[in-house]
Each structure stands twice: as structure tokens, then as C-alpha cells.
Structure 1
């Protein structure tokens, strides 16, 4: 992904010198960072004033628009830095954010009295988030878990700075007032940006791919449908025939033992078993 911004030739706003002999009796001196921010905002205001007077599509309009993009690239870099833990090349994130900046410039109306950074930041961040949602994450994570993961990441960075070491799960949970299980779930969710092929060999350990280590095919699976059908058919038999089948095939009693249990002849038990089998076979939709 490449985005080229032509060099700006728009008029530059000179840095404001500290005021001497101000009304409050002292000099006000801005820090270098705040001075650059003030200069950028002043330049942006001037450029938008010029852009409003120009016709879209003209070379002059394109030149001023490019100067606005170039002047506000620090805003994009600031927004992109929030996503530095995503393991994506920062150059790609900045370029995606620049697309959001361009969209914000094209939609911004300076007459509404809103500062451009305030207007542009949601658009830049939204463009970056869409990039991660549509092009990076390969496993869907619930929105609540994703938002909580952002908090866990921020808390981890703060605690690492404070302690001079990586914080424990308990310390992160205490900081955010959540359970340790939720912290672990968030950490696991943060690893879901890239899926691993089941057939890919494991790097470093020399073991076969995950597909070869995911267990085996249970031979009892073939009988699931038959067992469900038998359960359905058994309840349709008379109660005495149900009991005979249970004694014969679940209690493993012989026909002689069943006859003694029920007080009937062994021949009668045999006839009842044969009749039950006939009913079950006639109702067996699988064999039919």
C-alpha cells in the first residue's frame, strides 16, 4: 500500500514569538510540542480558508488539499500509535489512517466552528478499526471481549512501566476490577488476528501439524443414529416386552433367568423376544 502526498507549497504560518510585557505582567512561553501543534492548527485554518475559495478538480485546489494532508499527518501517526500492539506494520496502519484523514478533509466545513483535529480523529480511528476488522482479524471475537482486551492491553503497558516488569494476571485483574478468567480470555482474544493452518507443521518442536494431533475418529459414532432410533422404538412396546429386552440386553440375563424373574416359562420369554424384534424391525426406518 503506497500513498504519495506532493510537497506543499502553501503559505506557511510563522511560529508565534512569546509575548513580552503581557497584560498579566509575565511572558507566556509554549513548549516546542505545543508550539508545533499551535502552528499546525493555524496553518490548517489558513489552508481550509483557501480551499473553500477554490474549485474542486483544479490544480490549485489539489495543491492546497495535498498541503492539508501533509500538515495533518502527525494526527494520523498519533492515532496509529494506539494500535501498535496489533503486530501489524505501522506503515500500513498510518496509510490506512491517511485515507481517513483525506475523507475528513473532504467533508470538513470550517464554518461550523469545530476544530479540525476534533472532527478528523473519529474518522481516522474508524478507518483504522475497519481495516483491522475486515482485513486482519480472521477469527470473530465478541465486541465486549474485544473492547475489554483493549483495556487489558492498556493496563498491561501502564503496569509494566510502573513495576519495571510484566504484570501478573492477578495484578491486571485488580487494576481493571475484573476476574482473572476474563483477563485470560482477553489475552487469548488478542491472539486471534491470525489463524494457523491445521496442516502446518509446528515450528521449532518438529512435531506434525495440529490436524495429525487432534485425536481419532470414535467408532461408536456410527451407532448414534441407531441408538436414538432404538430408544424411540422401545417406548412404543408394551411394558412387559420393554422389561424383557432390558433384562436381556442391559442386565445380560439369560432367558432362563428372565423366566424365573417374571414367573413365566422360558418358551414364553422366547416368543415375546421374537415378537418384540419383529415389531422393531418393521418400524426401523433406517433398514427400510
Structure 2
């Protein structure tokens, strides 16, 4: 109690609540554009309560009911910090309740590691831990399409540079501007942006929601005109092996080497009429052996 009494005089001439406000990261600043004064007061009250609770927690034995009660009160008081951090990941299309739960794990870890005697505001200490826990969750649990770690880490830098340049230029920066800012190639920037969007595999047959378009399979696929020829070639290969060797050679010379019957007769040393009869006999055998036509 003597500590609070010794700090009372400076509080009388200027209340300390507004002074530490910037130390609460950007939690009040981001949410107070519509009503800055009430949010600022709420943030000051949260900081004051957090400071008192940490003072009590330091004097308690871990594992005791009183220690658990104060620790739970600290978690409850600083949940707005977790919700603020989770709001940065709304574009990931992941249930916000799950993201908040993961961020709460980071908050608990920060509470367990925080030392109030170091003179650092708790939100300043806790925010990197909360965001790091959420990012780890997205990296290890959410992605069904895994990208190289280097590309994922570079995507974080690309995303940060995009936000900074958007604020500086008042518009979305180009790929060249982002590449110049990070001193990397434009192809790497494009790869990072593509990797950042690759969280879930999309079914080729799933219909596109909202736009009424057919699935990717119908939009991106096409019918190969040579596809039917694959079955025909396989069937012909199966039937050809059933012919005598000379008839196989005549068919190959006629339809694969494109020789005329006269050229084939000269090649084999038989008459053109005989070549014609052999071709006709081969066709007859092929048709009789073709189960599809039968």
C-alpha cells in the first residue's frame, strides 16, 4: 500500500491514465475512431487492473486456488487484446472463434512469462506472443497446401511492405514497388502473393459460390480430340499381333510408312494383286477379331 501512496501526489496534478495509452499497442487506437474517449478510458482501466493483478500474482504461490483465480482474471481482462490481434486475420476465411482461442493460448503463455519488474507494459510484451501463436496455427494446422518455409516467411514481409506502401502512397502498390522496397525480384513477390493465398485445396468439381459459374473442371478443362484415338490405337495393337508376320509388315508399310501397293509389292517381291489380296484378308481377320464391332 505504501507504493500506491507514494505515487499518489504525481497522479493528483496529472492523471497517469492518458500517458501510458500509446503503450497499449494499437488496441484502443484501432477501435476508437468512432468513440475515442470511452475506448481510451477502457484501455486505461484495463492497464491499471492488469498492473494490480500482476502485483497480486507475484506474491502468490503457483498452483494455489488464489493464484489460479488471479491468473484467470488476468486472462479475462486482456481478452480484448486477443480479439484485436485475431481481427488482423479475418481475410483468412477461418472461423474467428478458432483464431481467438489460439490467440488466447498465446496470451496465457505471455502472462506466465511476464515480469512486471522489467518496466514494460504487458500489452507491448504480449502482442508479439499472441500474433506469433496465431501465425503458427495458420502455418502448421490450417494450410492444406504447404509452401516452402522461406516463401512463407517472405510472404509475411511482402504483406507488411504492402501495408506500409499503401499507407504512404494512398493506393495499392505495384509489384515493382514492393520488389524495390524489399530488394527482391518481382517474380518472388508474385510467388509470395500466390503462396499467401494457398491455404486450401479447391475441388475441381465444386461449383463456384456466389458467381453462379460452373466448377473449375468445366471452366479450365477441355476435351482432347485425340483421346478417342488412344483406345483405338490400343485395340489395333492388340489385333495386329494376331496376324501373321508378313501381313503385319504389309499393314505397317501401307498405313504407317504410307507406301502404295506397287511400292509394297516391289519391297516384298510379290505382285501388286497379291498385296491387295493380303490386305483384304488382313482386314477381314481384324474385323472378325474385333469384339467391339462383333
TM-score range for the pair, normalised by the shorter chain length: 0.5 to 0.7
TM-score, with structure 1 as normaliser: 0.59
CA distance in 2: counterparts of 1:43 and 1:17, whole angstroms: 14
In 2 relative to 1, CA 183–229 (structure 1 residues): closer, same or farther, beyond 3 Å?
farther
CA distance in 1: counterparts of 2:163 and 2:6, whole angstroms: 36
Q: Counterparts in 2 of 1:21-170, with a 5 A limit?
A: 31-34=20-23, 42-43=51-52, 45-52=54-61, 55=64, 58=65, 60-73=66-79, 76-77=82-83, 79-80=85-86, 83=89, 85-88=91-94, 92-103=98-109, 105=111, 108=113, 121-122=128-129, 125-130=132-137, 133-135=140-142, 137=143, 139-144=144-149, 145-170=151-176
Deviation string 1:265-287 (CA, Å, 9 cap, x unpaired) is: 5478689989x99xxxxxxxxxx
CA distance in 2: counterparts of 1:127 and 1:250, whole angstroms: 64
CA distance in 2: counterparts of 1:80 and 1:243, whole angstroms: 74
CA distance in 2: counterparts of 1:212 and 1:51, whole angstroms: 65
CA distance in 2: counterparts of 1:202 and 1:260, whole angstroms: 67
CA distance in 1: counterparts of 2:9 and 2:251, whole angstroms: 103
How many residues align? The count is 253
Partner of 2:27: none
Whether 1:172 and 2:181 are equivalent positions in the alignment is no
- CA drift at 1:61: 3.2
- CA drift at 1:143: 2.9
Higher helix proportion, which one?
A: 2
Which consecutive unaligned segments of at least 5 residues does structure 1 have?
A: 1-10, 21-28, 235-239, 278-288
SS at match of 1:203: coil
In 2 relative to 1, CA 89–266 (structure 1 residues): closer, same or farther, beyond 3 Å?
same
CA distance in 2: counterparts of 1:71 and 1:174, whole angstroms: 42
Partner of 1:192: 198
- How large is the Cα RMSD of the aligned pairs? 5.3
Question: 8 Å contact 1:44–1:71 — kept in the other structure?
Answer: no
Partner of 1:182: 188
Partner of 1:213: 219
- CA drift at 1:128: 5.0
- CA drift at 1:248: 1.8
CA distance in 1: counterparts of 2:205 and 2:6, whole angstroms: 61
CA distance in 1: counterparts of 2:174 and 2:6, whole angstroms: 48
- CA drift at 1:191: 3.1
Partner of 2:256: 250
Question: 8 Å contact 1:98–1:124 — kept in the other structure?
Answer: no
